[in-house]
Chains A and B, each alone.
Chain A
Amino acid sequence: MAAVAICIVRLRHLFAVVMLTGVFSLLSAALLVQLDAVDVAFTEAAVGAGISTVLMLGTLTLTVRRERVPDSMPIAPLAIVFITGGALVYGTFDMPGFGDPNAAPHQHIAPDYIKGSEVDIDVPNIVTSILASYRGFDTLGEVGVVFTAGVGVLLLLSSGGIAGRRHGRDPDEDGKDQSQVGEGEAEEEQSGPGQTGKDKG
């Protein structure tokens, strides 16, 4: 995975980069299977390796083939990345070990869920019973996020636009709106796949 990540950073040919992100997603899906998180692995394989790769390819047809070589070595961003990464790694030192039965969440709420899904809900897959029943409200919010993302992309990108959207505006404002749509699209392509990935986790 580290090798693939380094290749992604080093390569300038964007088509190869998109393909390698797909490979990276598939590898992380395999890693998640190793960690016994089959549901998440499932999502990672379908969303990360499948749909986002296709979406990135679709985006690639709208932009250029090669990444531009930067004029100077970007020192400040590199420093920020290292500091943030170091802080995150430092933060993991306080976390309980993987599968540690004495970890706080395993003491407090996990036993309730594990017993509860057998008694109250009678569903063998505890992930489903937590997602859909115990945390039903959260999942409703997640579906709301997916819905909002979809509506946002439709508003920005769909060719016809929503009927009557531009009514009652003067031409000047309309022109401004057009240019904003162009900028927003670039933003959306960045945040879109990341966001979907996030709420699956």
Chain B
Amino acid sequence: MKHHLVLRVITKTLIPPILLFALYVQFHGDFGPGGGFQAGVIFAAGFILYALVFGLETARQVVPAGTLRALVAAGLLLYALVGVASMLLGYNYLDYDALRADDTAGQHLGIIVIELGVGITVAAVMIAIFFSFAGRPPRIKDEDW
């Protein structure tokens, strides 16, 4: 899409707000609507928009396949490890009261951390699925649309 100047300029101005909004949804999920799932999808949407306009190869340089695979696992591990941490501290699995002396502070910390894990996994999975779908050579020509 090298010749679409308008699209490129608009995309460039849109991507930072999209990513910023994703982070807002991620970390403001306790107070307003939103959370890890939504934030991860919005974050992935920013990357997918970039890949659509600037080409798949450029986007792959931004997020290499290895990093993506690591991130897919990292989010889930982060979530599960919060549970292990609370177990090691003598509480039930995923009981966030263990994380801080104050119960509600522990709950806040636990929710933020596990939402981060959810967000990382969801964003990475969405980007990975898009890359693997878009990375296959198309069987039809552009004119057929």
A interface residues with partner B (beta carbon < 8 Å): 15, 38-39, 42-43, 46-47, 50-51, 54-55, 58-59, 61-65, 120-125, 127-129, 131-133, 136-137, 139-140, 143-144, 146-147, 149-151, 153-154, 157-160, 192, 200
Task: Give the interface SS of chain B, mostly helix, strand, loop or mixed.
Answer: helix
A62 near B76: Cβ-Cβ < 8 Å: no
Across the interface, B125 reaches (CB within 8 A) one of A63, A136, A146, A160, namely A146
Across the interface, A137 reaches (CB within 8 A) one of B65, B93, B135, B139, namely B93
B129 near A46: Cβ-Cβ < 8 Å: no
In whole Å, how far is B1's beta carbon from the nearest beta carbon of chain A? 14
- Across the interface, which residues of B come within 8 angstroms of A65, CB to CB? 140, 144-145
Across the interface, B76 reaches (CB within 8 A) one of A51, A144, A153, A157, namely A144
Q: Which B38-58 residues have a C-beta within 8 angstroms of A?
A: 38, 41-42, 44-45, 48, 52
A124 near B31: Cβ-Cβ < 8 Å: yes
In whole Å, how far is A92's beta carbon from the nearest beta carbon of chain B? 27
B136 near A42: Cβ-Cβ < 8 Å: no
Q: Residue of B at shortest CB range from A65?
A: B144
Q: Residue of A at shortest CB range from B28?
A: A125
Across the interface, B145 reaches (CB within 8 A) one of A15, A127, A151, A157, namely A15
In whole Å, how far is A43's beta carbon from the nearest beta carbon of chain B? 5
A125 near B52: Cβ-Cβ < 8 Å: no
Known: A51-B41, A125-B33, A133-B110. A146 touches B122 (CB 8 A): yes
- Across the interface, which residues of A come within 8 angstroms of B124, CB to CB? 150
**How extensive is the interface on chain B, given as a class?**
35 or more
Give 10 closest A-B pairs by Cβ, nearest first: A150-B125, A58-B133, A61-B138, A157-B132, A38-B33, A122-B104, A136-B94, A46-B41, A132-B111, A121-B107
Task: Give the interface SS of chain A, mostly helix, strand, loop or mixed.
Answer: helix
Q: Residue of B at shortest CB range from A137?
A: B94
A143 near B121: Cβ-Cβ < 8 Å: yes
B125 near A147: Cβ-Cβ < 8 Å: yes
Q: Residue of B at shortest CB range from A160?
A: B65
B34 near A39: Cβ-Cβ < 8 Å: yes
B45 near A51: Cβ-Cβ < 8 Å: yes
Cα distance A200–B126 when bound, in Å?
14
Known: A15-B145, A122-B108, A157-B136. A143 touches B117 (CB 8 A): yes
B107 near A47: Cβ-Cβ < 8 Å: no
Cβ of B118 < 8 Å from any Cβ of A? yes
B79 near A124: Cβ-Cβ < 8 Å: no
- Across the interface, which residues of B come within 8 angstroms of A146, CB to CB? 121-122, 125
Additional A-B contacts beyond A51-B41, A154-B72 (20; CB < 8 A): A15-B145, A55-B133, A61-B139, A61-B140, A62-B138, A120-B103, A123-B31, A127-B35, A133-B96, A133-B107, A139-B79, A140-B80, A147-B76, A147-B125, A150-B121, A153-B128, A154-B128, A157-B133, A158-B128, A159-B132
